[in-house]
Amino acid sequence: MIESRIVEIGELVPAFEEEMVLILFGPTATAELKSICVIHEFVTKPDIVLKAGIKFVMGNNNQTYMIKQVGDAANKNFTELGHISIYFSVDKNKILPGAVLAEPEIYPTLNQGDTICFYN
């Protein structure tokens, strides 16, 4: 399981709801990145690999999502930087290297202090 706690939500994050993308980044994010990211800190060290079929729970309504696709660099970026972009809508293009595609197509409502949990 991977557990993380949201420590900050950038002021521009709500603007990404229309695009159905959420950008997670660890506490080392630059000031420029912080404005567009959900900043989180790992509570538990990442001990699973993000892959299709992995579930995660996030948001103040504890919405459960399932990963459908994982970009080539997503696991490395997530482990080292706490960074992944989560797309909640199907795109006809190939998934970006640092991204994951998840379903259902429901954009999460997040608050500072919320947890994000990935599990098998």
pLDDT in tens, 24-75: 999 999 999 999 999 999 999 888 999 999 999 998 789 999 999 999 999 9
Q: What is the pLDDT of residue 19?
A: 92
Q: How confident is the model over 86-97, as pLDDT tens digits?
A: 999 876 667 899
Q: Is 6 in contact with 114 (CB distance < 8 Å)?
A: yes
Q: What is the pLDDT of residue 99?
A: 96
Closest by alpha carbon to 53, among 66, 72, 38, 71?
A: 66
- The mean pLDDT value of the chain amounts to 94
User: For residues 93 and 86, what is the distance between their CA atoms, to the nearest angstrom?
Assistant: 15
